[in-house]
């Protein structure tokens, strides 16, 4: 029983996306399209500059996740393997950022970026997300679990500082790094809110914004095309999720257990 509300929407999305126009509105729902209209996907793809949006989404997501991994690795390295003044305070300053989402700060951040003349640039889409409190926290936990003796042994072999981070800490924390990267990719590929605030130009718009524009235009008419577009916008994340589901679950285990 519980499966119907879960699975029916996915099924209905797929079936609608393959229906010719005259089979979309029928007195009794058509549970299978009689002649799958594969060209719906092509029609939807060309209804908006989706190729451009796709490209933008890839660039923006890749930039954000790469920056987050680099910055979080460095910060987590400092927090887990060094003794220094203010370590606890700095740790809490970083973690506290988790309770200040962009849905609260967006007005101020919009003003800042407008002031810098960055609106409608990749920089505006990426900069506020370049650091990740969540990623820093996860990596710190993983790095802290690497035993001290290993660090001493590495130092004797002449491997210290950033070389130790790169050759020992990161490889040993692979599952955490991967799990965090996956969650970050999904979050930023799907992000609708922030790109909506800082873009109004197709040259930098991302897929969710393109799909959102399509929703605004196509509602009440071409549901088959809208469902096709929704599917190709979701497809990369669904694919990633089904291929890597083990790591998604692992990341949840890691964050969940902590309480």
By CB under 8 A, residue 243 contacts other proteins: no
By CB under 8 A, residue 6 contacts other proteins: yes
State which of positions 111-170 bind other proteins (CB under 8 A): 111-112, 114-115, 127-128, 130-131, 133, 136, 161
Q: Could you give the CA distance from residue 67 to residue 57 in angstroms, rounded to a whole number?
A: 15
State which of positions 185-214 bind other proteins (CB under 8 A): 186, 189-190, 192-193, 196-197, 207-208, 211-212, 214
Dihedral sign computed on CA atoms, order 102, 108, 114, 118: negative
Shortest distance, position 21 Cβ to other proteins, whole Å: 12
- Of the pair 2, 147, the CB lying nearest other proteins is at 2
Shortest distance, position 254 Cβ to other proteins, whole Å: 8
Locate all alpha helices (DSSP H) within 48-199, ordered by sequence.
Answer: 50-81, 87-96, 102-116, 122-126, 133-144, 148-156, 162-164, 170-172, 174-190, 193-198
State which of positions 34-63 bind other proteins (CB under 8 A): none
User: Quick check: helix, strand or coil at residue 91?
Assistant: helix
Of 36-44, 58-66, 173-181, 220-228, which part binds other proteins (CB under 8 A)? 220-228
């Amino acid at each position: 029983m519980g499966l119907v509300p879960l699975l029916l929407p996915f099924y209905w999305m797929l079936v609608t996306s393959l229906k010719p126009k005259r089979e979309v509105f029928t007195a009794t729902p058509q549970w299978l399209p009689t002649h799958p209209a594969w060209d719906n996907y092509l029609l939807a793809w060309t209804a908006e500059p989706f190729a451009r949006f796709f490209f933008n989404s890839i660039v923006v997501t890749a930039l954000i996740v790469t920056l987050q991994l680099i910055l979080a690795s460095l910060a987590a390295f400092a927090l887990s393997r060094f003794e220094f003044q203010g370590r606890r305070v700095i740790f809490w300053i970083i973690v506290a950022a988790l309770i200040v989402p962009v849905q609260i700060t967006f007005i101020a951040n919009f003003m800042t970026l407008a002031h810098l003349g960055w609106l409608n640039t990749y920089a505006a889409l990426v900069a506020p997300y370049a650091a990740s409190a969540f990623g820093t926290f996860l990596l710190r936990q993983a790095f802290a679990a690497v035993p001290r003796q290993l660090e001493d042994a590495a130092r004797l072999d002449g491997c210290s500082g950033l070389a130790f981070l790169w050759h020992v800490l990161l490889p040993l924390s692979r599952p955490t790094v991967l799990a965090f990267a996956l969650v970050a990719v999904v979050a930023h590929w799907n992000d609708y809110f922030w790109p909506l605030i800082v873009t109004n130009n197709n040259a930098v718009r991302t897929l969710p914004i393109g799909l959102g524009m399509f929703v605004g235009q196509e509602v009440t008419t071409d549901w088959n095309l809208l469902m096709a577009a929704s599917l190709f916008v979701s497809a990369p994340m669904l694919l990633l999720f089904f291929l890597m589901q083990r790591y998604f679950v692992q990341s949840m285990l890691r964050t969940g257990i902590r309480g």
